[in-house]
Each structure stands twice: as structure tokens, then as C-alpha cells.
């Protein structure tokens, strides 16, 4: 059941920067616990640490442009019983001081809280050098680390207070720009627990951070297409809520993940790891596709990298196509040597499929492997318009009209890969 959200936020949301929630949370945490201290690396105003500095000047330390030193000093303070928050831009902390975080903070398992501000591409005009897109990935592999990516200013405040009470190291990730406020004071927040923000039974959209708003808009758009999307706010990326994810996988059977981060090593990877060993379902990851950022407005960059409601909805429709085809776990096995055997066997040289880049394909499994590593430009060259060479080749060379027709009906790369996998199930390699 969906939790309580802000009224009318779909129509006219209040816009507040998540970093403002961090500043408010620091003051609240400091009022509740006198051991809370804050360190900053010459970015006091930008990270919104100013409010804590003004309220508790004797518990604030400005270390200057020295992020590595800041992490080490904080580790020492934590060993003496303090709860330090270290604040900087995410490209500098954890970007510049990862080794100190690893060795002095995580290895010692001390309660240092790392605040990575201005994360993601929505930093905009600052460009690639200041757009942290790898921070979750480099910290997720560290033992003892908790990773929180709150969705709005209210949740960031709650996450900051919660971090002060959480054992061991914590990473808090937040953005610069003002973003929609989706939650209320009554919206639950618990470290390690994902919350349902929108009910649905057809597909699950898992998001973290301010882009969760786009996921919710996508769910509304999908309703018009008679698709009921469940939206999960997965603010805790480590430890991830496996129970909620497995429950969603059983209920919907298809996932889309959304993050303002590289798709490698971030939320999408964490989700796939969580469900792969228990209840595997097709997953489409929306995020930065192995690229660096660039200068532009937040809106331009989110649009370019597909982090919009329209693109999320399109991904949901695509993964549903895959789910329809990908009945691999439940499909009856194909007799070896029959249909699958033909697809596994090599064909005569005059019927080889030659890709645009010069690669030669002799079997259907080879085509599947080529599809999995093929860039979109090459893929669209072969399936554009009525040309659909893959379909014609499979029908001509292997006599498999059913598979060829499936390709024509579902001309997307993911759907084709799933269709081949289904066809080959039970065949001998």
C-alpha cells in the first residue's frame, strides 16, 4: 500500500533543494546529540553547513580545500566518541578522498557521515568535472558503508538525522538544484526500508533521489496506457531492501530502475544483484550509460540522458514486451536436435549474416551475443523501417518463421534477445 505523499505535488509541486534539507537535518541532529560535529572543505554555504556553524560554532571545523585531511581528522574524532559529518561536493568527497574513507573510516568502522553534495548531472553548467556520477559505485563496494539517496528536502532532513543515529559510516547523497517535494512529515522514512509511493501490479519502477519525481510522473502516464506501475522509493541503496524487491518481483515480474548515476555499480546494479539469486525478472536500467556529463541546464541534461517521465514510461513498456516473451523460467523445454538444434547449428557460407561493421554471424546464439554487445546505431541500421534483416535471415537460413515473426512484432533489442533465449531453452550448446 502506498505511503502518504504531499497533496497536489503532481500538478504544482513545491520546489526546495535537497541540500537545504541536509542543513536543517544537521541542526536537528546537533540539538539531539552534543557529540555531532560538522567539518567542511571550504564549501560551507554550498553544502548548507552554514546553519550548523551558526548554531554550534564550537562544534564546526573548516578544514579548507583538503578533503583527504578532512576524512582522516573526522575518523580520529569518531574514535574519540564524536559523530562527525564531513561536507563537500561529491566529486571531491568521496571522489578525492576515497582511500582515506576506505582505510581510516570504513576499515575502523567509525561513525563518520559523508555528505556528497551537487551529485548527478543536474549540477548542470558546472560540467563533467563537477558532476559526480560514480560516487555510489565506489562506496557501495566498501564494507560497513550505508548509502542513503533521499528523494526530496524533507526526506534529506530525515535521512541526515537518521544517519547521526546509524552505526558506522554513512554516505548521504544530494543535489544542488531545487527539486519537487513529494513527501510530508508523515511519510515514513527508515534506513534500509524501501517504500511504495505508487501502487501497481504490471511493472515496478525503482528510483532513488530527486528523479523519483519523474518515475511517479511516468506511472501517471502509464495509467493512460492501461498499465499499472508500482513505484518504489529505494532511498537506501546499501543495505538494499531485498524483501521489498523480491515481493515486487513476484507481484509484477518486470523492473525499471531510475537513477542520476552511472548504470554500472549504482541503484540498478544493486537491484539486479538483489533479485537475481532469488526471483529473477527482466530489468531495464535508466541512468547514465557509461558516459561523462557535460555542461547544460538541468532540464537539457536530464532529457539528453533519458531521465524523464516519457523515457521511463517507454522503458516500462519495453520491459513488459520482454516479460511477455521471456517465459524462460516457465516455458516447456525444446527437444534437443529439433528446432533448437537447427538454430544452434552453423549454416552454409552463402547464408551467413554479415553485420554492418563486418562481423559474420553463423548461428542464432552468435546473433544473440552480437545483439547484447551491439551499439544502438548498428542495431537501428538493421531493423529500421521494413528492412529488418534479422527476421529475414532467420526465416531464410533456419526456416523459423515463428521467431522471425516475433522479431517483426517486437523490433527492440531487449525483446529480440529474450525471444532467442526462449527459443534456445533446452538446446545443447
Give the integer Cα–Cα distance in Å for 203 and 208: 17
Burial per residue of 184-202, b for 16 or more beta-carbon CB atoms within 10 angstroms, e otherwise: eeebebebbebbbbbebeb
Give the whole-angstrom CA distance, residue 413 versus residue 403.
14
Each residue of 269-320: pLDDT tens digit? 999 999 998 889 999 999 999 999 999 999 999 999 999 999 999 999 999 9
CB 406 within 8 A of CB 419: yes
* Residue 31 is among the residues annotated as catalytic for this protein: no
10 Å Cβ neighbour count for 389?
Answer: 16
Cα angle at 129 between 127 and 135, to 5 degrees?
Answer: 110
Write down the catalytic residue from 24, 31, 62, 67: 67
**Percent above pLDDT 90 for the chain:** 71
State the architecture of 195-325 in CATH terms: 3-Layer(aba) Sandwich (3.40)
DSSP assignment of 52-81 equals HHHH-GGGEEE--S-HHHHHHHHHHHHHTT
Q: What confidence tier does 93 reach under pLDDT thresholds 50, 70, 90?
A: very high
pLDDT in tens, 51-92: 999 999 999 999 999 999 999 999 999 999 999 999 999 999
For the chain, helix, strand, coil in percent to 5 are: 45, 15, 40
For residue 395 the three cell numbers come to 526465416
Report angle CA 263, 264, 266 to the nearest 5 degrees.
75
Return the SS3 of 127.
coil
pLDDT tens across 181-202, in order? Answer: 999 999 999 999 999 999 999 9
| Fold match, 15-180 / 195-325 | yes
pLDDT at 419: 87
What fold is seen in the domain 15-180?
Rossmann fold (3.40.50)
Average pLDDT over the chain, rounded to an integer: 90
Q: What is the CA radius of gyration of the chain?
A: 24
Domain ranges of the chain: 15-180, 195-325, 339-424
Judge contact between 107 and 79, C-beta under 8 A.
no
Asked if residues 163 and 172 have their Cβ atoms less than 8 Å apart, the reply is yes
113-156 tens-digit pLDDT:
999 999 999 888 889 999 999 999 999 999 999 999 999 999 99
Amino acid at each position: 500500500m502506498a505511503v502518504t505523499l504531499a497533496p497536489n505535488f503532481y500538478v504544482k509541486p513545491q520546489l526546495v533543494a535537497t541540500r537545504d534539507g541536509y542543513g536543517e537535518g544537521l541542526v536537528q541532529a546537533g540539538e539531539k546529540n552534543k557529540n555531532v560535529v560538522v567539518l567542511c572543505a571550504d564549501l560551507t554555504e554550498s553544502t548548507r553547513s552554514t546553519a550548523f556553524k551558526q548554531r554550534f560554532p564550537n562544534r564546526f571545523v573548516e578544514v579548507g580545500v583538503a578533503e583527504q585531511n578532512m576524512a582522516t581528522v573526522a575518523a580520529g574524532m569518531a574514535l574519540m566518541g564524536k559523530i562527525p559529518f564531513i561536507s563537500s561536493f561529491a566529486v571531491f568527497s568521496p571522489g578525492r578522498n576515497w582511500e582515506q574513507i576506505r582505510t581510516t573510516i570504513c576499515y575502523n568502522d567509525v561513525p563518520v557521515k559523508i555528505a556528497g553534495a551537487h551529485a548527478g548531472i543536474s549540477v548542470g553548467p558546472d560540467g563533467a568535472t563537477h558532476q559526480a556520477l560514480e560516487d555510489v559505485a565506489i562506496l557501495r563496494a566498501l564494507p560497513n558503508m550505508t548509502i542513503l539517496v533521499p528523494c526530496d528536502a524533507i526526506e534529506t532532513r530525515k535521512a541526515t538525522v537518521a544517519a547521526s543515529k546509524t552505526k558506522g559510516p554513512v554516505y548521504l547523497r544530494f543535489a544542488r538544484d531545487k527539486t519537487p517535494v513529494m513527501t510530508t512529515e508523515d511519510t515514513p522514512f527508515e534506513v534500509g526500508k524501501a517504500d511504495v509511493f505508487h501502487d501497481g501490479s504490471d511493472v515496478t519502477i525503482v528510483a532513488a533521489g530527486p528523479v523519483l519525481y519523474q518515475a511517479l510522473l511516468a506511472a501517471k502516464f502509464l495509467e493512460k496506457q492501461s498499465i499499472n506501475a508500482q513505484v518504489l522509493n529505494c532511498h537506501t541503496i546499501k543495505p538494499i531492501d531485498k524483501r521489498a524487491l523480491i515481493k515486487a518481483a513476484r507481484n509484477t515480474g518486470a523492473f525499471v530502475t531510475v537513477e542520476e548515476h552511472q548504470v554500472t555499480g549504482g541503484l540498478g546494479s544493486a537491484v539486479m544483484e538483489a533479485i537475481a539469486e532469488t526471483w529473477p525478472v527482466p530489468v531495464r536500467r535508466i541512468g547514465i550509460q557509461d558516459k561523462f556529463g557535460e555542461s547544460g541546464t538541468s532540464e537539457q541534461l536530464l532529457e539528453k540522458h533519458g531521465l524523464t517521465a516519457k523515457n521511463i514510461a517507454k522503458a516500462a513498456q519495453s520491459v513488459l514486451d520482454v516479460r511477455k516473451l521471456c517465459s524462460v523460467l516457465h516455458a516447456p523445454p525444446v527437444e534437443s536436435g529439433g528446432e533448437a538444434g537447427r538454430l544452434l547449428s552453423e549454416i552454409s557460407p552463402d547464408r551467413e549474416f554479415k553485420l554492418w561493421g563486418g562481423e559474420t554471424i553463423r548461428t542464432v546464439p552468435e546473433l544473440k551475443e552480437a545483439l547484447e554487445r551491439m551499439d544502438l546505431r548498428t542495431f537501428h541500421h538493421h531493423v529500421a523501417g521494413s528492412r529488418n534483416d534479422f527476421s529475414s535471415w532467420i526465416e531464410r537460413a533456419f526456416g523459423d518463421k515463428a521467431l522471425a515473426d516475433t522479431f517483426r512484432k517486437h523490433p527492440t533489442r531487449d525483446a529480440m534477445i529474450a525471444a532467442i533465449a526462449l527459443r534456445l531453452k533446452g538446446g545443447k550448446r
